[in-house]
Homo-oligomer: A and B are copies of this chain.
Amino acid sequence: MPGRLYGIGLGPGDPELMTLKAHRLISGAQVIAYPTLAGAQSFARSIAAGVIPADAREIVMDVPMTPERTPAQAAYDQGAADISEALDAGNDVICLCEGDPFFYGSFMYLFARLSQRYEVEVVPGVTSVTTCAARAGLPLAARNERLTVLPGPLPEDELRSRIEGAESVAIMKVGRHLSKIRAVIDALGFTDQAVYVERASLPDEVVCPLNDAPEKAPYFSMILLTKGADPWL
């Protein structure tokens, strides 16, 4: 009997925001797997570090940072092959994912490669979107309000048209796109309603009005705009 592959969402960063199910599965893991970006430390692994058994085998997929897709594809191909080998040997494999595996997570590349051949279970996790809202004290959506999630790397024109027609907006992966996003929000006149959140739930978290945001934003930063929220039922 081959093992089962688990894609496990670990939540936004605070290890206490992982689910009981994630905790149970990682505590009992024989084999864990996770990607790293160009040799950097894995954020997902750092969230789970206190729970990973000392004798668990670790499959690391080192994904190069290049604009071309082929080298990254090769890294996931190799990772999928290594995971297959462990599954074929009868071991379950626990793949660690920051946030939620299917919400901008790299686990979907493994899911696409392996879900036809193996039993795969995806364990959802707390996303950065609701964590940022919680930390900022900003209700995201009530009743019949809409929520739009936009990645910061989108082109300026597209960001503008998507923000303009939306109610609540969460802009993910702000990073080096911060000044472009600020310009769009300024031009639309929404700066006073925008909040900047960096590394939500971690000890070095930053929450402030967009106007006070630092000039340089890390990849794990977000801008929340809640134009429509009407919490006064």
Contact = CB atoms under 8 A, between A and B. Distances in A.
Nearest to A133: B102
Nearest to A11: B19
A103 B140 contact: yes
B20 A102 contact: no
A122 interface: yes
Nearest to A128: B124
Contact of A16 (B24, B106, B229): B24
B141 A103 contact: yes
B72 A102 contact: no
Contacts of A148: 146-149
Contacts of A72: 233
Chain A contact patch, size range:
35 or more
A113 to B, nearest CB: 8
Interface stretch (A37-45, A150-158, A190-198, A206-214): A150-158
Nearest to A109: B233
A120 interface: yes
A189 to B, nearest CB: 22
A54 interface: no
Given A18-B19, A144-B153, A148-B146, A103 B130 contact: yes
B102 A232 contact: no
A19 B101 contact: no
Contacts of A20: 15-20, 23
A67 interface: no
Contact of A231 (B111, B125, B137, B144): B111
A108 interface: yes
A167 to B, nearest CB: 10
26 contacts: A12-B124, A16-B21, A17-B19, A17-B20, A17-B124, A19-B20, A72-B233, A100-B126, A100-B130, A102-B133, A102-B139, A106-B233, A109-B231, A109-B233, A111-B137, A112-B232, A115-B137, A120-B137, A122-B134, A122-B135, A144-B153, A145-B151, A146-B148, A146-B154, A146-B162, A149-B149
Interface of A: 9, 11-12, 14-21, 23-24, 69, 72-73, 76, 100-106, 108-109, 111-112, 115, 120, 122-127, 130-131, 133-135, 137-151, 153-154, 162, 165, 229, 231-233
